[in-house]
Amino acid sequence: MSLVVQKFGGTSVADGEKILSAARKAVRAHQNGHQVIMVVSAMGKNTDMLVQMASEISEAPPAREMDMLLSTGEQVSVALMAMAIDSLGYQAVSLTGSQIGIKTDSSHTKARIQHISTERILSLLDQGNIVIAAGFQGIDENLNITTLGRGGSDTTAVALAAVLQAEACEIYTDVDGVYTTDPRILPEARLIATVNYDEMLELASLGAGVMHSRSIEFGKKFNVAIRVRSSLSDAFGSLIIDQAQTRELPVSGAALTPDEARISIRDVPDVPGTIYQLFLMLAEAKVTVDMIVQNVSDDGTADISFTVPRDEAEETFQALAPVVQALGGRMGKTDPDVSKVSVVGMGMATQVGVANRMFRALANANVSMQMITTSEIKISALVRRDQALSALRTVHAEFGLDTGATDTTSFSYEPTPQTQIDAADVVDRLQKTGMESLVIDDIVLDDTQARVTLTGVPNEPGIAAAVFDRVASNGIFVDMIVQSYADDRNADISFTVPAEQFDASLDVATKIQQEFECDGLNYKSQIAKLTVSGIGLRSHTGVAVEMFKALNEANINVDMINTSEVRVNVVVDGVQGQAGLKCLREQFASAMR
């Protein structure tokens, strides 16, 4: 008999009527011969209300007690859901996280799932019950209640679908599926019929709140096809799968992370240990760092900028200031009024000229980019918060996301028997080592590229567009791009190109330097790009730190960095490529799958 998981979010169980309507969906699947597990969130804004209540009592409530409090939201809704099913004449049993046996680590309010017991659920299903599982919660080894982080019921649902080898995992919510961007922010957003795991991982972590990003990590690791659909209709929705892309558009979606802050560190020694010490400090403070950009310096010192969530800016500054001072550098001014606008798409990995299109469109809309970072399937730009919405609308339109014909015809997705066998194998193995533990797929060296850096570039709208228009029109394929923030007037722009296009790139850069009166130009004709790829690299903040640690011990300096959900890339001097590869392989030996 086939098994389906149906997850209902807060708005889909906000009142009695909605609970009954969700119950009917589960009953219908049951009548169609499926075994059904429902995963349910707290009703409506209940979790927000609980958070608010805690804040009225204490400025810093203990995390353990927050979990105790927040888990009650889901306990209410599972019980009501079981009563609803019962009232429809079917058998149901509700279970809390601990009753299911969802074992997590002890990091309260952001716990990770280690193991899920299946016996109780399976025996209840075999007795003809619809099983109703509380989302978002688990239990640690000392029987303390834990929660998985806001939005975590998605993760419970996909994790259950994974261990139970469910045929389907349906996420019922208040939109019809995954859109090209948040339809509440841009009404012109369109539904996407199928999304690849990697795209969804990036979109979710860059602000597309429709799915908890860790749920997509589970989907990818265990090959669970996830269907996101409306709880108010029977429309097909969107499918998140491991799909080979055949997209015409280079970009599949756009996202906005509105509340970011930019932190700048100045004049620290440009030696291998610096970046390691800084990021060790940040990892220990559990700050989520993004858009890390290091200027390639001429004078032996480096400036480093990165973004953090705005509400972590002050804490980050305080944690870093003493370390930076001890290193002989100083803290630059923090800018708390910035937002990150990103575009994501598998298509861009194989097409040229995507980045300059984005930069040109933003320049035409008079939006100035303070920082830029790219990875294989995403480009992010940091902009002033008051320009963020127009920046999002501009890039969304530039890539045709508001008009592109969206294929919403329903189709069924049949995983091949082979992938099911593989998934069973992975589930087995990871149940033993920790379901959400870090998985590294590969560590590779690319020593076929060169780097060009323009320093002291006047920071005005259109400058990045001019640079990369020129580069693209010369047929040069750009891989990594970073633009740092130096001060209000100047930026540094670095990019990597194939080594055989180095001479041509240098010619272009020299002309640009003269024309735009940039301070300087530096380059390396051979660089080594070292890539660690895996799943959930950003949520495992320690990965970048481990890389810096290993490189530091091997005395290798890092020139450029970029991070994404599935990859961390660092650029080092070409002659150190092999040594870098060796030390990273040793460092991550135990996390390789």
For residue 77, state whether it binds ligand ASP (rule: CB under 6 A): no
Minimal distance, residue 10 CB to ligand ADP, in Å: 4
Query: Pick from ligand ASP, Mg ion, ligand ADP, none: which does 135 bind, CB < 5 to 8 A by kind?
Result: ligand ASP
Q: Closest residue (Cβ) to ligand ASP?
A: 153
Q: Which lies closer to ligand ADP via its Cβ, residue 295 or residue 342?
A: 342
The only residue of 3, 130, 210, 463 in contact with ligand ADP, by rule CB under 6 A: 210
Q: Which residue has the tokens 């749920």?
A: 215
> Binding of ligand ASP at residue 41 (CB under 6 A)?
yes
Does 347 engage in binding with ligand ADP (CB under 6 A)? no
**What is the residue-wise DSSP string for 501-535?**
GHHHHHHHHHHHHHHTT-SEEEEEEEEEEEEEEEE
Q: State yes or no: residue 47 binds ligand ASP (CB under 6 A).
A: yes
Residue 225's SS3 state is: coil
| Binding test (CB under 5 A) with Mg ion, winner from 138, 151, 250, 580 | 151
* Least distance from ligand ASP to the Cβ atom of residue 42, Å: 4
Q: How far is the CB of 211 from ligand ASP (least distance, A)?
A: 10
Alpha helix segments (H runs only) across 327-405: 354-364, 388-398
* Binding segment toward ligand ADP, per CB under 6 A, in 6-14, 91-99, 323-331, 389-397: 6-14
CA distance 6 to 12: 12
Query: Please, what sign has the CA dihedral across residues 536, 538, 541, 545?
Result: positive
| Options 151, 219, 536, 577; binder of ligand ADP; rule CB under 6 A | 151
Calpha distance 253→255 (Å, rounded): 7
* From 3, 4, 8, 10, residue interacting with ligand ASP (rule: CB under 6 A): 10
Instruction: Kindly list the distances between the CA atom of residue 581 and the CA atoms of 289, 311, 483, 528, 529, in Å, as whole numbers in the listed order.
Output: 24, 36, 26, 9, 9
Stretch that binds ligand ADP, among 99-107, 177-185, 502-510, 521-529 (CB under 6 A): 177-185
Give how far Cα 564 sits from Cα of 8, 199, 227, 540, 570, Å.
Answer: 29, 11, 24, 11, 12
For the chain, the farthest-separated pair of C-alpha atoms sits apart, in whole angstroms, at 79
Q: Tell the smallest beta-carbon distance from residue 452 to ligand ADP (Å).
A: 35
Can residue 48 be called a binding residue for ligand ADP (CB under 6 A)?
A: no
Place of tokens 């090959």: 223
Under the phi-then-psi rule, with left for phi > 0, alpha for psi from -120 to 50, and beta for the rest, what region is 25?
alpha
User: Using an 8 Å Cβ cutoff, are 191 and 179 in contact?
Assistant: yes
Among 153, 513, 563, 587, binds ligand ASP (CB under 6 A): 153
* Under rule CB under 6 A, residue 152 binds ligand ASP: yes
181 forms part of the interface with ligand ADP (CB under 6 A): yes
Name the minimum Å distance from CB 153 to ligand ADP: 7
Based on the shown chain and the rule CB under 6 A, indicate whether residue 42 belongs to the binding site for ligand ASP: yes
- Identify which of 204, 195, 203, 208 has the alpha carbon closest to the alpha carbon of residue 241: 195
SS3 18: helix
184 binds ligand ADP (CB under 6 A): yes
Backbone angles phi, psi at 373, to 5 degrees: -140, 150
Please classify residue 260 by burial: count the beta carbons closer than 10 Å to its beta carbon, then call 0-12 exposed, 13-18 middle and 19+ buried: buried
**Distance, CA of 181 to CA of 189 (rounded, Å):** 6
Structure tokens at 231: 């709880």
Candidates 126-134, 151-159, 321-329, 409-417; binding stretch for ligand ASP (CB under 6 A): 151-159
Q: Which amino acid is at 382?
A: L
Binding-site string for Mg ion from residue 111 to residue 150, where x marks contact by CB under 5 A and - marks none? ----------------------------------------
Nearer to ligand ASP, 135 or 345 (CB): 135
Instruction: State the Cα–Cα distance between residues 378 and 202, nearest whole angstrom.
Output: 8
Bridge partner residues of 104 (DSSP): 113
Give residues 240-279 in contact with ligand ADP (rule: CB under 6 A): 253
Among 8, 13, 18, 73, binds ligand ASP (CB under 6 A): 73
Residue 230, strand partner residues:
173
Residues 9-28 that bind ligand ADP (CB under 6 A): 9-12
Report if residue 135 touches ligand ASP, rule: CB under 6 A: yes
CA 524, chain centre distance (Å): 31
Q: Out of Mg ion, ligand ASP, ligand ADP, none, which partner does residue 182 contact, by CB within 5 to 8 A per kind? A: ligand ADP
The count of residues interacting with ligand ASP (CB under 6 A) is 12
Considering CB distances under 5 to 8 angstroms, the limit depending on partner class, which of Mg ion, ligand ADP, ligand ASP, none binds residue 152? ligand ASP
CA-closest candidate to residue 581, choices 445, 442, 439: 445
DSSP lists the bridge partners of residue 168 as 4
Asked if residue 571 lies in contact with residue 480, where contact means CB atoms within 8 angstroms, the answer is yes
- For residues 47 and 496, which CB has a smaller minimum distance to ligand ASP in the complex? 47
Coil, helix or strand for 213?
helix
Please state the closest distance from residue 345 (CB atom) to ligand ADP, in A.
Answer: 13
First vs last C-alpha separation in the chain:
31
Contact flag: residue 136 with ligand ASP (CB under 6 A): yes
Q: Give which of ligand ASP, ligand ADP, Mg ion, none residue 136 binds (C-beta under 5 to 8 Å, depending on kind).
A: ligand ASP
Query: Which x/- pattern over 220-239 shows residues binding ligand ADP (rule: CB under 6 A)?
Result: --------------------
Query: Which residues contribute to the site for ligand ADP (CB under 6 A)?
Result: 9-12, 41, 151, 173-175, 178-179, 181-184, 208-210, 253
Residues forming the site for ligand ASP (CB under 6 A): 9-10, 41-42, 47, 73, 135-136, 150-153
